[in-house]
Amino acid sequence: MPQPLEGTFSADHSARLLRNYRYVVERTMRALGGWIALTPELSAKLLMGRHVWDLAQHCDSFGRRLPELRAHAHVSEAANPAVAAFMDCLEEPEGPDQTVERLVGVYSVLNPHLLATYRDHLSRANPVYEPPTRRILVRCIDDEERHIAAGDTILRHLTGAPSAEERAVSRQRRLEELLVAAGGVTGEGLASHQAPEGEPLRADPSDDAREFIRLETATTAWPIHASLGDALRSFAEALVAGDEEALGRWLASGLVLGATPWTLIRGARYSGHRIVAFAKLGDQRLVKTRLDGPSNSAVVLVRWASAPGGWRVAALDVVARDARPA
């Protein structure tokens, strides 16, 4: 049975859609690239790092297709100012504690919308005279399915705490409102093309988000020798208690507590401590201890050196202070 020759839109319209897609995908690609350095969590960094290149290839395919549709190559165009406003908002969160906000914008709002839009476009692109566009869309759909599945996995990992979940929901709601106001990335309204029934989004072994999480969480215990472990515990308890006399007993000769950044957190109230980093520097050890209190938290970095009388603090620094509870 021959394919129908009836088409649903013109070459000019097809070119406009590709420019609209290219606009949001290019901005997303650049945002993801820029966010990698601003994002602390390794799993999220790897996720973004994997997807920048896929999105660049999507942009490239759209851009190369344009001259074949009597348009200028590699041109991006926002469908309307509201789409630009949506993208401005999506790019906004740059703080180290806003990874969830960044990922929600891309993986919970934009990508599912793009997936539905591409599917809708594919269903309407004529198979006789638009195979070049259809092939591009098929590739993009395939990638978006993988991206959404991977993003969802990382987001579930990062939104374990109720407060993070609330932030995610609030962020998603705000961006979805903007997207609706823009009429979607094409300005023509939101496509509702869903995956065929029973077909789950596919992950890919080469960018398995579960592996990114495993790599992030693989270290479950620090290899701390018992003699040092006792010293670390005692010192951390003295930090929490603000007991300067006890702290002083652990200092190497020549080090004066009052001359260290300890003075920055002196007087703050803490109720608990935990080691968050344990590194080697030759025979010395670098230990980061997080102190948490009702209204403050701080991270103290101590360099421990082995001396004839046991482990002693050779240097102390306060590397982070936060006014909020952990």
Binding footprint of other proteins on the chain (CB under 8 A) = 29-42, 45-46, 48-50, 52-56, 60, 63, 74, 91, 94, 96, 211-212, 215-216, 218-219, 276-284, 286, 288, 290, 299, 301, 303, 319-320
Instruction: Scan for tokens 């007087």, then name that residue.
Output: 267
Kindly state the smallest distance separating residue 109's Cβ from other proteins, in Å.
18
Kindly state the smallest distance separating residue 30's Cβ from other proteins, in Å.
5
Distance of CA 291 to the CA centre of its chain: 25
Q: Which is nearer to other proteins, 191 or 209 (CB)?
A: 209
Kindly state the smallest distance separating residue 39's Cβ from other proteins, in Å.
6
Kindly state the smallest distance separating residue 142's Cβ from other proteins, in Å.
16
Q: Which is nearer to other proteins, 47 or 125 (CB)?
A: 47
Kindly state the smallest distance separating residue 190's Cβ from other proteins, in Å.
26
HSE-up (13 A, CA, CB side) for residue 170: 10
Kindly state the smallest distance separating residue 128's Cβ from other proteins, in Å.
31
Q: Which is nearer to other proteins, 195 or 286 (CB)?
A: 286
Alpha-carbon span 223 to 213, nearest angstrom: 21
HSE-up (13 A, CA, CB side) for residue 98: 15
Q: Which is nearer to other proteins, 241 or 320 (CB)?
A: 320
**For residue 312, what are the β-bridge partners?**
305
CB atoms within 10 A of CB 202: 11
Q: Taking CA 314 as the corner, what is the angle to CA 308 and CA 320, rounded to the nearest 5 degrees?
A: 145
Q: Which is nearer to other proteins, 66 or 122 (CB)?
A: 66
Q: Taking CA 25 as the corner, what is the angle to CA 80 and CA 128, rounded to the nearest 5 degrees?
A: 90
CB atoms within 10 A of CB 280: 9
Q: Which is nearer to other proteins, 23 or 125 (CB)?
A: 23
Alpha-carbon span 232 to 243, nearest angstrom: 15
Alpha-carbon span 57 to 240, nearest angstrom: 52
